Amino acid sequence: MVTILWCYSRNNEFLKDNVDYNSAADIAGQANYLGVSLQVDIIKQKSPTSKVGFTAIGFAETDPLTYTKLSSDDTIDLCRCQVLNCYVGRLAMLNTGGESKGESNFKQARKTAVVNKRTGGSGIIMRHKLLSVLLTIE
């Protein structure tokens, strides 16, 4: 039996100044790490929206280099942070394909799949169906 764990953070304490930090790369990465520690087979995660979560909400101590020299605001770097928290990609991490919004849905899902694969992830899940993403990125 394969276990897929939705590792979404949903904590009202992570909402500050009308900004939702639940999908920040550092908070989402920590959720991934907890899922991996539970020994699940596959982690499902939302695409990260920012790199700063813990410092913005004033929770946990983080070295300032984490947010300056060791990462950037680039979407690939943010997703890479999530993959690194899955035991450096040893455990499969899938990103959600995005919300169903009609025309833009496929475009967003394609972008998410490319970012996920470039960071060492395993693909995307879209509409609750596991999609095999066969992309060769050079």
Whether 117 is a known active-site residue: answer no
- SS3 category, 126: strand
Q: Distance from CA of residue 77 to its chain's centroid?
A: 11
The dihedrals phi and psi of 79, each to the nearest 5 degrees, come to: -70, -35
- Characterize the bridge pairing of strands 129-130 and 123-126: antiparallel
Instruction: Report which of 85, 93, 6, 13 is spatially closest to residue 53, judged by C-alpha positions.
Output: 13
Catalytic residue among 44, 46, 51, 117: 44
Give me the active site residues, please.
44
